[in-house]
Chains A and B, each alone.
Chain A
Amino acid sequence: MPTFVYMTRCDGCGHCVDICPSDIMHIDTTTRRAYNIEPNMCWECYSCVKACPHQAIDVRGYADFAPLGHSVRVKRDEEKGVIAWRIKFRNGKKDMDLLAPITTKPWGSGTPQLRDVEPPTQEQRDSQLLYNEPKYIRFDEGDIHTLESNGLKMKEGVDY
């Protein structure tokens, strides 16, 4: 559903241009507001809709199969860590509000800085282990799985 931009709400801030994965939200040089320059390369991913600080961007279902008169709106809030959706059917019979969490931590606080963690030993470098392994794979003291530990071997051919 390609996105479109309401003339009276857009102030040309460019948040949508910055985020669009398909590079199709551009600023019109005459109106100095954003618009979708290539609707048939729009995935309806809603990245721009979520990024717009003025709720100026909406979506109208693809003309080749979606009739007019529906609405799927969204508000994403990183501070509260939730996303709220409202779906309205064309015939007015269904009007749903749906809420989902987007994170369990204060936004941006959960990821580590690996430059500052204890550097890997030579033994770890020579092993098959990745960062945080094996402790992040299993609860016990065991190592990662190998062919030997699991009683397996590689055999060529159809027979298996």
Chain B
Amino acid sequence: MKYKTVIEDNIDVLVCGAGLGGTGAAFEARYWGQDKKIVIAEKANIDRSGAVAQGLYAINCYMGTRFSENNPEDHVRYARIDLMGMVREDLLFDMARHVDSTVHQFEDWGLPLMKNPKTGSYLREGRWQIMIHGESYKPIVADAAKKSADQVFNRICVTHLLMDDNKANRVAGAVGFNVRTGNYHVFKSKTVVVAAGGASNIFKPRSVGEGAGRVWYAPWSSGSAYGLLIGAGAKMTQMENRIVLARFKDGYGPVGAYFLHLKTYTQNGLGEEYESKWWPSLQEIVGKEYLDPEASHLSHRPIPTCLRNHAFIQEVNAGRGPIHMVTMEAFQDPHLEEIGWHNFLGMTVGQAVLWASTDVDPKYENPELTTSEPYVMGSHATGCGAWCSGPEDLSPPEYYWGYNRMTTVEGLFGAGDAVGGTPHAFSSGSFTEGRLAAKAACKYIDDGKAEGIKVSESQIEKRKEEIYKPMETYRVFRNEITAGSVNPNYINPRQALDRLQKLMDEYAGGVTVSYMTNEKLLNIGLKKLKLLEEDLEKVAAENIHELLRAWEIKHRHLASEAVVQHTLFRKETRWPGYYYRGDHMKVDDENWHVLTVSRRDPETGEYTMEKAPCYHLVDVEKDQADAA
């Protein structure tokens, strides 16, 4: 093999993936480990990588405790309601009590946060959201991480975690390859923080051809957080909880600022309000506990995102589409019109391009909305990810095993999309989770938990062979055919991705089946995923760029299998509007008010599923009064 092996040894904290979670981890690790060796491995360039590469126009998770706006438990309750009860409230409370210090530091670093001229506090978009000029959010945050890290390895696709050969179930670093030079990189480390991001492109997208890149979550979000963790045998939670987004059609431009700040609203193709008429039938599915429009109206309690999707989907299926966003009123105000456009330019330029190309001026025409294909991630209105320990002072025994944000693999931590049960973290919360993980990782080392780690040469060699196998496959079989991409011995990464998307769409509840699935379909899906796994052993890469795509599809495949296993396990329809179990069309609190936890045996590939208790924050006083 012509590629060199580059070994980076004696690392204390290795950060895999430098999006908002990873940069937070690298930044904070330096404070608690001033003499420690901190290394970042990033698939792209840290200045523009991760989901925030393009920028953001809002920070969606800010308590404003300083201004007496919210307490952490208020945010926990909000996330709990939005996710139909299924959250890790210890992790959420922990994130929420620290997130403001993250945001205040961002301001110190030069991120332009808009201010409310009357109060001096930040300009609120909604109860949790503040508005920013965030085009350079990522390079600013990256700068902080670069100052903290001993070294940043850009363009390293991390493929596997290294495991300790002395002690079972303990992490020892990671391996990958450089997508420019092709070199094999070995990182031997005492701890690893995986912050490698959630997954787009798992379900067949609505777009075809070129537009397949215009996904809601970044196309480079390859589910590597899940691929790496599942591959190492870490337990996962809530992987069935994929998310569907109601967004501007085709461009997937964000709607948050439009709803909250510009006060635009939706209507059906006939110009009517449509949501409320679906509430009675939806209440039969989810019960009054989860949908009580009157109480919501009185208390401003939000209606869960999935349930609003449900009304959207039903209205379109009833033939009264398209659903429009009514912008024509708000956009008569030139100031609001400008905000509407800036909102896209700051985070989804493609939507501005689309309106410019189709002559949609929202001042004179109400743009169309759509519901997206599903995505698998853990920091927006959904909580897929690893089963992680919470902090000592908050977590009940089932949620606590020593180190905050540590997965069930020793020394292996998560942040951002990697951590399960923590929806509504968004950018600031993900960065905060990275900070929490880094502090815990330093403590883990200082406590002597990382002593005596051994990585055998055979493990390093085995991974190397595995990593380059797609190129070897191509080399061996390419000349069996004259030209082209049709070969009986292999498929290329794009062909594998197309197959994955098609089967996930049809069997696991994608757009073409209106998000519907059932046990039979899921079992067929699992069978097809196993066959795809076999074919992924024969995926071929013509060059290093294709090798990157090959490993991305392998990570997406691991994430997908977990999604199907979890969806099969949870025999209820917990989030109508995200997906439906046609054979169990109701919320079933008696049996399923629990978190789902899975583990894939790295040796056999077999899944084991279990239920974990769902704890909620309650007021001590109120609880005592109830008991009395």
Contact = CB atoms under 8 A, between A and B. Distances in A.
Interface in B578-625: 589, 593, 613-621, 623
A153 B149 CA distance: 38
B54 A66 contact: no
A92 to B, nearest CB: 9
B593 A87 contact: no
Given A133-B98, A144-B98, A101 B112 contact: yes
B406 interface: no
A47 B97 contact: no
8 contacts: A21-B53, A23-B43, A47-B53, A64-B211, A114-B30, A130-B101, A131-B28, A156-B613
B350 interface: yes
Interface in B86-140: 89-90, 93-94, 97-98, 100-101, 104-105, 107-112, 133, 135-136, 140
Contacts of A46: 54, 349
Contact of B338 (A22, A98, A103, A160): A98
A21 B218 contact: yes
A87 B352 contact: yes
A114 B31 contact: yes
Contacts of B93: 145, 147
B359 A110 contact: no
Interface stretch (B167-175, B230-238, B435-443, B506-514): B435-443
Q: Which of A109, A133, A147, A154 has the most CB of B within 10 A?
A: A154
Contacts of A18: 45
Contacts of A119: 34
A141 B71 CA distance: 16
A151 B620 contact: yes
Interface string B558-577: 00000000000000000000
Contact of B435 (A130, A152, A159): A130
Contacts of B346: 100
A76 B34 contact: no
B393 A136 contact: no
Interface string B174-207: 0000010000000000000000000000000001
A70 B358 CA distance: 8
Main secondary structure of the interface of B (DSSP, over half): helix
Nearest to B250: A65
Nearest to A48: B48
B34 A114 contact: yes
A67 B355 CA distance: 10
B356 A40 contact: no
A130 B207 contact: no
B213 A41 contact: yes
Given A67-B358, A125-B32, A154 B616 contact: yes
B618 A152 contact: yes
B295 interface: no
A65 B50 CA distance: 26
B63 to A, nearest CB: 9
A120 to B, nearest CB: 6
B4 interface: no
A131 B72 contact: no
B486 interface: no
Interface residues of B, number: 104
Contact of A64 (B97, B209, B615): B209
A144 B342 CA distance: 35
A128 B144 contact: no
B393 A147 contact: yes
Smallest CB-CB A-B distances: 8 pairs: A105-B110, A44-B350, A136-B101, A62-B211, A110-B110, A70-B356, A160-B616, A70-B357
Contact of A155 (B179, B213, B618): B618
B210 A64 contact: yes
Interface in A89-140: 89-91, 93-94, 96, 98, 100-105, 107-115, 117, 119-120, 125, 128, 130-134, 136-139
Nearest to A49: B349
Contacts of B27: 114
Interface in B329-386: 338, 341-342, 345-346, 349-350, 352-359, 361
Contacts of A64: 207-211
Contact of A158 (B73, B97, B214, B593): B593
A40 B201 CA distance: 11
Contact of B396 (A41, A42, A115, A154): A154
A23 B219 CA distance: 11
Contact of B621 (A43, A128, A137, A151): A151
A43 B213 contact: yes
Contacts of A56: none
Given A21-B45, A136-B104, A128 B391 contact: yes
A113 to B, nearest CB: 5
Nearest to B57: A100
B300 interface: no
A69 B356 CA distance: 9
Nearest to A102: B136
A21 B31 contact: no
A87 B53 CA distance: 21
A10 B53 CA distance: 23
Contacts of B352: 72, 85, 87
A15 B346 CA distance: 21
